[in-house]
Structure 1
Amino acid sequence: MADSRRPGPTRPPIRLRPAPVADPPYVDEAPDLWPRPPGQLALDLFGTGRPAAGRPAGRRPDPRPRPGHPAAPPLPPPATSTPEANRAAHRFVGTCLEILNGYRPPGQIRALVEPGRTVEVTEQIARAAARTPPVRRRSTRPAVHLLRLRVCQPRPAAVEVAAVVTGGGRSWAMALRLEHRRGTWLCTALQVI
């Protein structure tokens, strides 16, 4: 006679494991339970309220290097972009949005892309087009909008751009790199995320 009951579970049973300790140690516990990485200062969790020894309360530390301690390396300057690079980034992203909204044919992007990268960039634009709502030809309002654009110029002939785009109730990002070649800014990489 055949068994008419349902077959048993195909997944292994769920195992319950103890939760890791999340509370700070008590005063009477050994300090080895919460080891500190080297160089990290101790945090006064128990409110003794005593200031650190050797430093008056309310004063900033001395910025001069002390003997025997290496000085911290200076921070690099922030990577900002020139107005020309900003215009190039806005122009390229604006062209991509016009293609996604149906105002331009996709072939017009070729003039703004490095010749060896045209196929990769058009594939990424097609990937973005799959996320957009259907284009309504008679509508004057674009279906895809630019929410935010960030431009960074790590070196004088290169610009990295991050754009947040929304359309059809969804948002996504576009990351691209523009390089100044032959007197114009050309896209060398585009990634739709």
Structure 2
Amino acid sequence: MADSRRPGPTRPPIRLRPAPVAEPPYVDEVPDLWPRPPGQLALDLFGTGRSAVGRPTGRRPDPRARPGHPSAPPLPPPATTTPEATRAAHRFVGTCLEILNGYRPPGQIRALVEPGHTVEVTEQLARAAARTPPVRRRSTRPAVHLRRLRVCQPRPAAVEVAAVVTGGGRSWAMALRLEHHRGNWLCTTLQVI
């Protein structure tokens, strides 16, 4: 009896080749083993003391220039925020989340925005609303949540805020700037990232 099956496709023979080197060079290896693209600076990550390409030789760095050295110039203090500025940032971001969750109408943001910037801020809120799941009117659980809020006050009358927001299985960020005008903290910039 003859075999009625068709012969299968012929496959080329398998060739085993050595694997390429995937490990970085050791500290004591010659730096020419890993060629650098032209224009890329060489970083001395391991502190070997060898001069990098393009760095003038014969000069030693000034040890006083390092932070922590007794004669180094003092570093500026980190930017801290006042409790009032932090509350204003939380209040503005909370109002934005209530608008996105459908608890407030979008027109209520106008009282917290500087008059010349209302259009830009409401456009950014509309952009954020496009990322949120549909709002259920009878649901008591919010669809959009605040995950993290960072507040920085670079000068006494300005606050910069970064907020991480989640909703509908997605996360995004909101960056905003609040400025103190006539006793109120008003938003001048809102960016949905």
* TM norm structure 2: 0.68
**5+ residue gaps in structure 2?**
none
- The more displaced of 48-57 and 104-113 is 48-57
Structure 1 residue 25, shift from structure 2 partner: 5.4
- The CA RMSD over aligned residues, in Å, is 8.9
Deviation at 1:24, TM superposition (A): 5.7
Tell me: CA distance 1:53–1:12, structure 2 relative to 1, closer, same or farther (3 Å): closer
In the TM superposition, what is the alpha-carbon distance from 1:19 to its structure 2 partner? Answer: 12
Identity %: 92
| Cα distance in 1, alignment partners of residues 67 and 162 from structure 2 | 44
Q: TM-score, normalised by structure 1?
A: 0.68
Structure 1 residues 27 and 144: alpha-carbon distance in aligned structure 2, compared to 1, 3 A threshold: closer
What's the offset of the Cα at 1:72? 3.1
Q: Write the deviation string for residues 137-191 of structure 1: whole angstroms up to 9, x where unpaired.
A: 0001110000110101011000000000000010100000000001100000000
Secondary structure at 1:61's aligned position in 2? coil
Moved more, 17-26 or 124-133: 17-26
Cα distance between partner residues in 2 of 1:119 and 1:63: 52
Q: Any gaps of 5 or more consecutive residues in structure 1?
A: none
Q: Distance in 2 between matches of 1:72 and 1:180?
A: 36
My pick for the range that moved more, 51-60 or 146-155, is 51-60
- 1:107-133, Cα deviation, whole Å (9 max, x unpaired): 000000000000000000000000000
Q: Matched residues in 2 for 1:160 and 1:12: separation?
A: 62
Moved more, 132-141 or 67-76: 67-76
Secondary structure at the counterpart of residue 81 of structure 1: coil
Q: What is the CA-CA distance between 1:76 and the residue it aligns to? A: 1.2
Count of residue pairs the alignment pairs up: 193
Distance 1:15 1:50, change over 3 A: closer
